[in-house]
A and B are shown apart, each in its own frame.
Chain A
Amino acid sequence: LAKTTQPISMDSYEGQEVNITCSHNNIATNDYITWYQQFPSQGPRFIIQGYKTKVTNEVASLFIPADRKSSTLSLPRVSLSDTAVYYCLVGPRATDSWGKLQFGAGTQVVVTP
């Protein structure tokens, strides 16, 4: 499974855009990139998933360059409730190795007023 590297922590103010970049140099051809958010004492919550280029949904955008060796999660106009740990995961689709994932350390994002 591809190893990921992301910053340990990031601080931001309310209303700002937060961009978290994740490195995954040994990503495989069949691997997808998925981001999760986790609050204390809760299970991770799915944010967004992509394979290449750009993906956008109602809560975030995911930018993936052509070489796919990194990806950037963009959270627009964060609020205090976005304070959480964000995990970047790279793993195969469900048909390969059941699509299992290995979590890295994650990025602790702290949003202040």
Chain B
Amino acid sequence: GAVVSQHPSWVICKSGTSVKIECRSLDFQATTMFWYRQFPKQSLMLMATSNEGSKATYEQGVEKDKFLINHASLTLSTLTVTSAHPEDSSFYICSAREDHETSNQPQHFGDGTRLSIL
């Protein structure tokens, strides 16, 4: 159980293109999902918290107009990198936590999306 699927797993595109990444919780509902970015040999950096039916909350230094997040259902959140440039090339990872009234469920992560901007 608790599987999080990310799509696509990798994408290469030209500078100036917008790229959408999907994050799905396959067997559970998640009111809250998270988006991270990871550069080579570095740790994960939290970018934003995505909440179903409301605006995402962005971490300091993350441009909300650059990284558009939509959480339209309890099983799907999307991250759109708008007008991507080479410096946006990175490994993007999402996570989701199963909604549960009493127990503290851990976050479960997708397998990431490797984004390369030429």
List B residues 48-106 near A (Cβ within 8 Å).
49, 51, 57, 91, 93-95, 97, 99-100, 104-106
**Do the beta carbons of A44 and B32 come within 8 Å of each other?**
no
State A41–B45 Cα separation when bound (angstroms): 15
Query: Taking the complex as formed, is A71 at the interface, i.e. its CB lies under 8 A from any CB of chain B?
Result: no
List A residues 96-113 near B (Cβ within 8 Å).
98-106
Q: Which residues of A contact B112 (CB under 8 A)?
A: 41-43
List chain B positions with a Cβ less than 8 A from chain A: 2, 4, 6, 32, 34, 36, 43-46, 49, 51, 57, 91, 93-95, 97, 99-100, 104-112, 114
Q: Mark A86-104, 1 if CB is under 8 A from B, else 0.
A: 0100000110001111111
**Do the beta carbons of A93 and B46 come within 8 Å of each other?**
no
Tell me the smallest distance from the CB of B25 to a CB of chain A, in Å.
13
Interface of B, secondary structure class, is: strand
Q: Which residues of B contact A45 (CB under 8 A)?
A: 109
State A106–B43 Cα separation when bound (angstroms): 7
23 A–B contacts, CB within 8 A, in A order = A36-B109, A42-B112, A43-B4, A43-B6, A43-B110, A43-B111, A43-B112, A44-B95, A44-B109, A46-B106, A49-B106, A94-B105, A99-B32, A99-B104, A100-B34, A100-B49, A101-B107, A102-B46, A103-B36, A103-B44, A103-B45, A105-B43, A106-B43
